[in-house]
Structure 1
Amino acid sequence: MWKALSERDWDAVKSHLADDCIYADMPVGPAASARGPEDIVKRLKIGLEPLASYVNHDGLLVADGATVMYEHSETWEWRTGETAVLRFVTVHHVQNDRITLWKDYWDMSALVNFAPSTWLDDLARADMSWIYDATGQI
């Protein structure tokens, strides 16, 4: 899944997600989650598709039964030249070889500090039809 995400191969990313998978960026909380492969990819595209370059850097991977924790970093480079290295801890729950829950923990201020000045405005104009309120579910 991470290789597909690094390549921004959206169909391959979807193939790793359960039909009812929930994706949550924990800095913004479960009220702005996405549910299902189509909406999760819509959500991911908001951040990753406009980038000139996106690279996932491997890190520590730990599994305990169906729970997988992955400490990694990502380098985001915008077409305007700004670059950010974002450090993540991702928690996946996996059942039947599909991700059923995906939670990302990271420092949003690191992104805001290095993103182009137009980034927040672009985010405000993005398609938000993917929003799913997962409060109480994760």
Structure 2
Amino acid sequence: MTRTPEEAVRGLWRTLSARDYDGIADWVTDNCLYMDMPLGPSLSARGPVDIAKRLQVGWGGLAAYENHDGVLVASGDDVMYEHSETWTFPSGEVVTLPFATVHRVRDGKVSLWKDYWDYGAIMNNAPASWVESLATADTSWVYDATADL
């Protein structure tokens, strides 16, 4: 099946909104590079398994997560997606975060994914227990992408 870059990006984000970690592999390449830009390239993840582990650090303990669709602009294999995410914590806090995400698509799958967002917005509004959990989170997914820039 051949997907357009737009279809690949929208499919990935539908899968992410459902927190279908196993389904990520259907939408990203085996060596897809995920970079959470506020944290820098040294805390990146590569490949669907490690990307899923990385996302679970943030989303795993949430009571709910939802991606809100937004503007998507494509130029060939490059896709920019402006969207927002609502994070609902078990203790009741709700934070909506605006994102700009850059994707590169190869053969119908995302091969590069860079998230740009305000890290301070989550750190200043998340419950202390979630922030503290980051100190003991699984870091087996860490890939230093500094040389890949």
Determine if the TM-score, normalized by the shorter chain, exceeds 0.5: yes
Name the Cα RMSD after superposition: 0.8
Cα offset for 1:49? 1.5
2:56 is equivalent to residue 48 of structure 1 = no
Cα offset for 1:118? 1.6
Preserved contact between residue 66 and residue 95 of structure 1 (Cα < 8 Å): yes
Aligned to 2:93: 82
2:32 is equivalent to residue 21 of structure 1 = yes
SS of 1:51's equivalent in the other structure is coil
Aligned to 1:130: 141
Distance 2:26 2:14 in 1: 13
* Structure with the bigger percentage of strand: 1
Identical columns (%): 54
Aligned to 1:108: 119
Cα offset for 1:136? 2.7
Q: Deviations over 1:84-105 (max 9, x none)?
A: 0100000000000011100000
Distance 2:148 2:111 in 1: 12
Aligned length: 138
* Structure with the bigger percentage of helix: 2
Distance 1:132 1:46 in 2: 15
Aligned partner letter, 1:20: N
Aligned to 1:98: 109
1:10 to 21, 28, 46: 21
Alignment TM-score, normalising by the size of structure 1: 0.97
Alignment TM-score, normalising by the size of structure 2: 0.90
Distance 1:73 1:11 in 2: 22
SS of 1:131's equivalent in the other structure is coil
Preserved contact between residue 14 and residue 41 of structure 1 (Cα < 8 Å): no
Q: Please, which runs of 5 or more residues in structure 1 have no aligned partner?
A: none
Distance 2:141 2:116 in 1: 19
Cα offset for 1:14? 1.9
